[in-house]
Amino acid sequence: MCGIVGYLGNKNAFPILLNGLKRLEYRGYDSTGIALIENGKIDVHKKEGKVRELEQITENQSFKSTIGIGHTRWATHGEPNDVNAHPHVSNSGNLAIIHNGIIENYGSLKKDLIQRGYTFESDTDTEVFVNFIEDIKKSENLSLEDALRIALTKVIGAYAIAIISMDTPNKLVAARKGSPLVLGLGKDEFYLASDATPIIEHTNEVIYLKDEEIVVMENGEYHIKDSRDIPQTPYIQTLELELEAIEKGGHDHFMHKEIFEQPISIADCMRGRLNAEKGELTLGGIRNYAKALQNAERIVIIACGTSWHAGLVAEYIFEDLCRIPVEVEYASEFRYRNPVINEGDIVIAISQSGETADTLAAIELAKSKGAIVLGVVNTVGSSISRVSHEGAYLHAGPEIGVASTKAFTAQLTVLFMIALKAAKNKGTIAENRFQQLLRELSLIPSKVEKALQSNDKIEEISDMFKNASNFLYLGRGYNFPVALEGALKLKEISYIHAEGYPAAEMKHGPIALIDENMPVVVIATRDSSYDKIVSNIQEVKARKGVVIAVVTEGDSLIPGMADFTIEVPSTHESLMPLVSVIPLQLLSYHIAVMRGANVDQPRNLAKSVTVE
């Protein structure tokens, strides 16, 4: 979703802001802009398109301002164009604002402002917002921060904002509610950003602002207050993120890098938690609620997108190992229903960013009904990690590619460990099986490494299908969610229509689509459903479908039936999704590259959906 950067200090702000916008490109956006205070006025440069286009229109200009704000916009109110791009300036030209989120009551505010003589150039709620703040500031003769505080009590919706004013050219003011905002602390200088990626090259000391907090930066000092004007004592966190982690490191795309990082990222998930030699599994993040988990009568998993697919796999795992019924809900649907949640139910919220708006709203609903919420997130200090009762970080490192890859396998790893630990505590798993699964899990990084060796073969297969119009993905049992995930990856980055189905459901509709032009990807690893999946492949071939099969290494039956086979190492079927998803990630990546698509920043998509 939209990205914010801000700077106040003693350096030239423009290159810091421009580079910060480049760091935020992965979030997904369609226009970009920067505002500076320079030569006695607010100087705004904004452009539809990518940061490079903003860079082109400013390349011959010299900037010396030491304060500024920048933004990458993902359109909500108003189409993507130069006028609707942020920053937006008030009618007087005295205030400039950047804004993530949605002001839901902007229509009524706009109507009142028009009656008071204000005019509007854009279609955005943000231009209304900045003029509303200015109207309060002028009519009440208030400071910028006090006017903002009053304005925020009257707007409905989510926001992360940063504002500069001609009246106070050395002051930067920011606030958040429901949309992330990070304050970076330097020596007599300050950085603002939607996440830590634009900040890490300048400082590793940050503050993750809380909901309804306002920060004022001026004269080398900062002050944080809540919506009631009460001073807050923030927690200063030291970032462990390394700059190299957000660079491509010789890869053509972040997605390619992140696919190939998975042996390391999965191992990092287990580090300090799993000791296969000693047969130990330690999950400190859920220690206080371990008994509640093992005694739960029901688990509800809430997530969106790829995280929802991880939740589907987790449903199989928890029910098998812990014998606890599990429901997997789209957070966006859960929050608008009147779900049956009982006190003591366990709700597991899964999100890579930890900022997904629908998941956050679903958490608040679940908590209001007495549920215990465990968060499974990747981003340290994120909103979901703070509002959950307890949880577990993925420790997968930053994921820059919009299409999630290593976060998915990290989620599966952490969820498997949580289920395994709960089963051990509950006594629903025999000791020998517990030890066997621990050992198998510890071997997954090396097996993923081996699965990645099929890259060249998958690239060759991709070349044959890069012009296909449709794909069908089939899987059974644990591999059914993998089929969904494979189809989603292809849709996301190559723009080819694809559907994932339980293989047995093919006969209940999708089989009508199969002909010689329909590639069918079948996850056909050797497990308890193997004989059934073989029958499904035969059904596809009988209708002249083209089969690309992901099979267990050494399979001698399916290669004689399928048109193409991709081998993956053998593992326990409950762990197979960690391995079988790898070829599907690579297939979608190579097809997208061959089609000339923007792999890391697919059209219309955002990395973190922080608005409804």
Q: What positions carry a catalytic annotation?
A: 2, 607
Assign 3-class secondary structure to 14-39: HHHHHHHHHHCHHHCCCEEEEEEEEC
Q: Which two tokens stand for residue 266?
A: 């999965």
Print burial letters for 311-334: b (CB count within 10 Å at least 16), e (below 16): bbbbbbbbeebbebebbbbbbbeb
Q: Cα-Cα-Cα-Cα dihedral of 526, 531, 533, 536, to 10°?
A: 160
Single-letter code of the amino acid located at 23: R
Q: Return d(Cα 109, Cα 132) in angstroms, integer.
A: 7
Q: Return d(Cα 132, Cα 106) in angstroms, integer.
A: 10
The DSSP H or E segment spanning 185 is strand 182-185
Q: Does residue 445 have a cis peptide bond before it, meaning omega lies within 30 degrees of 0?
A: no
The DSSP H or E segment spanning 309 is helix 305-322
Alpha-carbon distances of 173 from 23, 163, 571, 581, rounded to whole Å: 22, 5, 53, 45
Single-letter code of the amino acid located at 145: E
Alpha-carbon distances of 561 from 401, 489, 514, 525, rounded to whole Å: 35, 26, 16, 14
Q: Return d(Cα 32, Cα 560) in angstroms, integer.
A: 53
Q: Considering only CA atoms, which of 530, 531, 532 is closest in space to residue 570?
A: 530
CA atoms within 13 A on the CB side of 453: 10
Q: Which two tokens stand for residue 201?
A: 């090259």
Q: Considering only CA atoms, which of 26, 114, 47 is closest in space to residue 352?
A: 26
Looking up tokens 């860079």 gives: 55
Q: Which two tokens stand for residue 513?
A: 């689509």
Alpha-carbon distances of 48 from 69, 388, 473, 609, rounded to whole Å: 17, 38, 36, 20
Cα 80 off chain centre by: 22
E strands, 357-483, in order:
372-377, 390-393, 470-475
CA Rg, the chain, in Å? 25
Q: Return d(Cα 346, Cα 293) in angstroms, integer.
A: 7
Q: What's the DSSP call for residue 70?
A: E
Looking up tokens 């206080």 gives: 288
